[in-house]
Amino acid sequence: MKLLVKKFFNLFGLEIKKINNKKLSFDDIYKSIFNKKITIFDVGANKGQSIERFKKIFPHASIHAFEPIRNEYENLVKKYSLDKSITINNFAFGEEKYLKEINLAKRSGISSFNNFNKKHKWLKIRSEQYNTEIENFLEGKEEVQVDTLDNYCSINNIERIDILKIDTQGYEDLVLAGAKETLKKDIISAIELEIIFDNTYDKFLTFSDIEKYLIQNFRFSGIKNYNLNLFEGINFFAEVLYIKKSIVNKIDNN
């Protein structure tokens, strides 16, 4: 029956095609464009969540992880001490090399170089989740080393970064500012990062803050949005994906 229907429409010069309605995750996209043995930079490694995620889809990947908070760094070293494909670094990336204080929180993944907005309901809810007051949820400051991605790539002779993942709580633009030379060399294939749009901290980012570093060689290729606007939920942010234009063009032509 299906064949008869298809032939009927063909008589009128029409073709029936099956539409693929499957929603692709960022990981699905990565699996479709990269081989098994790739190089990944995990900037803002925290407790190793992204390391586990990437190793699940690319078991043979070489991962360079960067975590400035001393305690989390030491935990990562212990956790991955037997895996020689993972390099753990105890510093942050920024626009130049310097020492800087990072604002710590009990939930270490939201620690940031930016100051917390203590009046924001997001911080109140996070504190309640830890059964404490905001003053106790915030754990002071820690001085950490900041370097540039350009310096790291130069010193370590990095010739290829297939995936650059950046989750630095509002410092993503400065990470890219310190990667200008590496971006010019066209050795990065995909960049996945978080953009916080609201005033959770004393600084928020826009797409233009990010894209001014990427517009030359990259194309905005995907978004994972958690709230649809600034006026709903407790935190308006998105995870976004940029892929090198030459790769996108190959996909479009297939």
Q: What is the pLDDT of residues 50-94, one digit of tens each?
A: 999 999 999 999 999 999 999 999 999 999 999 999 999 999 999
Structure confidence at residue 39 (pLDDT) = 98
Classified as helix, coil or strand, 209 is: helix
Burial class (CB in 10 A: 0-12, 13-18, 19+), 127: buried
Structure tokens at 11: 């008589």
**Phi, psi for 162 (deg, rounded to 5):** -75, -45
150 close to 184: Cβ distance less than 8 angstroms: no
Which stretches of 22-168 are DSSP H helices? 26-33, 49-57, 70-79, 121-129, 134-137, 149-155
Provide the pairing of β-strand 39-43 with 62-66: parallel
Structure confidence at residue 21 (pLDDT) = 60
Structure confidence at residue 11 (pLDDT) = 53
**Phi, psi for 171 (deg, rounded to 5):** -110, 10
**Residue spans of the chain under pLDDT 50:** 4-5, 8-9, 12-13, 15-19
How far apart are the C-alpha atoms of 73 and 88, rounded to whole Å?
7
Structure confidence at residue 179 (pLDDT) = 98
How far apart are the C-alpha atoms of 55 and 193, rounded to whole Å?
18
Structure confidence at residue 20 (pLDDT) = 54
Return the domain boundaries, the chain. Answer: 19-253
Superfamily of domain 19-253: Vaccinia Virus protein VP39 (3.40.50.150)
Structure confidence at residue 232 (pLDDT) = 78
51 close to 173: Cβ distance less than 8 angstroms: no
At a CB cut-off of 8 Å and minimum separation 6, what does 137 contact? Answer: 105, 106, 107, 123, 126, 127, 130
Sequence-ordered strand ranges (E) for the chain = 39-43, 62-66, 86-89, 92-93, 98-105, 138-147, 161-166, 188-196, 218-225, 237-244
